[in-house]
Amino acid sequence: MEKDFSVNVNSEIGELEAVIIHTVGSEVENMTPENAERALYSDILNLSVAKQEYAQLRGVLKNVSRVFEVTDLLVSILKNDKVKTDLIQKLCFSCSDHQTLDFLSDLEPSALAKQLIEGVPLKRDNLSRFLSQKRFAIRPLHNFFFTRDASVSMGNKVMISHMASQVREREAQIMEAIFDYYPEFNTSTFSAGKNAGNGKRISIEGGDVLIVRDNLTLIGIGSRTTTEGVDVVIDKMKEKEDKHYIIVQELPTEGESFIHLDMVFTFLNYDECMVYEPVIMQPNRYKTILITIENKKVSIREEKNILDSLSSLGIDMKPIYCGGTTDAWTQEREQWHSGANFFAVGPGKVIGYSRNVATIEEMNKNGYEVLPAQQVIDNKISLSDYNKYVLTIDGSELSRGGGGARCMTMPVRRRNLST
């Protein structure tokens, strides 16, 4: 019987069956200190080290699920000439250099995919291009290994994000094409930015959207996701016949480590979550709002915090603290390096960075076996021997990009949780 890879994600922790990743490539090296900030990085990555670390993530994911690579998916859909033509025109809409468009159109799918992701160097064959300060006719997608942000699997559909920074909009356009034209995903998409041209500040990114269950979504608002972005989801949920809840969590707007909700809160198990205490648990700092949508009507009220709001909806969560419980400086330091950003491959089975020692120790105290990813890849550890674990991957370089295991994974299919 063939495996079903139709989009289906109704939780953050259901057993992972298919996921999209993008292995880091030359695009992360095509930057300088000056454009690193523009590319939303906190530092320049060492590609050779980052590849070794990413291989651990890819290796453990392949141990538990089907892993799709963005580049392979893009090559596949580019074999359709109409898709190829339409995508080039869409991705290069603002490119006035017809020579570049002609160059891309002549490329075979594999070469074209590479250029669209790693960037198209500017050919200096006339005076204007020779004197240009630009290095690329089409910029590299430095952030694409954070596949979480550009699209969101919501049930059997996919929301295409409207990115806060224009430098990342091409990622969303590529993901939209993949979900529209890769037949195995068997889904339909809707664009969060469809009405963004009407003077609205619409932006919403996948790192801010957590799927709790089929009738409950958790969304962070801050530097990457606006209230108008949440309004898009509200309008979409009005189309449903069943009641739907949205918990909205306000985030700090300053500090690049708080860019998304999943940098301060992630689900680990049926009844456990990882939290960064200063943002999630301290009262009267950042608002938590519960939105109820029923029969196309919307009611909104303020809540004490995420955990109280979840409890009122029948989901009781025990918080496990990023950075441990004894030292605020350690909490802050580990949160900066994505210490709260875990990705679940099943209930109580998660992936995170080994560098966040205090966080990992805190998880161990709460019953999580600590399993080094490389030992799993080398078949020295069998995951079937453990019911509850944290798979630790190296992250000295990857974390410099500003994200963790959840940021680098875009689930396509999860097994529904038993009720």
Provide the pLDDT for residue 1.
Answer: 47
| Lookup result for tokens 């390096």 | 337
Q: Last residue of a domain, which of 138, 154, 184? A: 138
Q: Is residue 419 part of a domain?
A: no
Q: Is residue 211 part of a domain?
A: yes
Output the domain CATH number for residue 407.
Answer: 3.75.10.10
Verify that 87 and 190 share a domain, yes or no. no
Provide the pLDDT for residue 97.
Answer: 64
Q: Is residue 8 part of a domain?
A: no
Q: Last residue of a domain, which of 138, 163, 188? A: 138
Number of domains in the chain: 2
| Lookup result for tokens 């339409």 | 86
Provide the pLDDT for residue 293.
Answer: 97
Provide the pLDDT for residue 130.
Answer: 80
Provide the pLDDT for residue 3.
Answer: 84
| Lookup result for tokens 């990857």 | 398
**Cβ neighbour number for residue 389 with a 10 Å cutoff:** 23
Provide the pLDDT for residue 285.
Answer: 81
Per-residue pLDDT of the chain (419 residues; tens, 9 = 90+): 468 899 999 999 999 999 999 999 988 877 665 555 555 555 678 889 999 999 999 999 999 999 999 999 999 999 999 999 999 988 876 565 677 888 899 999 999 999 999 988 888 888 877 878 878 888 889 899 999 999 999 999 999 999 998 889 999 999 999 999 999 999 999 999 876 666 568 999 999 999 999 999 999 999 999 999 999 999 999 998 899 999 999 999 876 678 899 999 999 999 999 999 999 998 768 999 999 999 999 999 999 999 999 999 999 999 999 999 999 999 999 999 999 999 999 999 999 999 999 999 999 999 999 999 999 999 999 999 999 999 999 998 888 888 999 999 999 999 999 85
Verify that 188 and 149 share a domain, yes or no. yes
- Tell me how far apart the alpha carbons of residues 318 and 274 are, in angstroms, rounded to a whole number: 9
- Tell me how far apart the alpha carbons of residues 325 and 317 are, in angstroms, rounded to a whole number: 17
Domain range for 97: 78-138
Q: Is residue 249 part of a domain?
A: yes
- Tell me how far apart the alpha carbons of residues 277 and 306 are, in angstroms, rounded to a whole number: 11
Alpha helices by DSSP H, listed for 220-292, are 227-237, 277-280
Residue 125 burial (C-beta neighbours within 10 Å; 0-12, 13-18, 19+): exposed
Verify that 290 and 388 share a domain, yes or no. yes
Verify that 189 and 326 share a domain, yes or no. yes
CA angle centred on 369, ends 394 and 18, rounded to 5°: 65
State the pTM of this model: 0.94
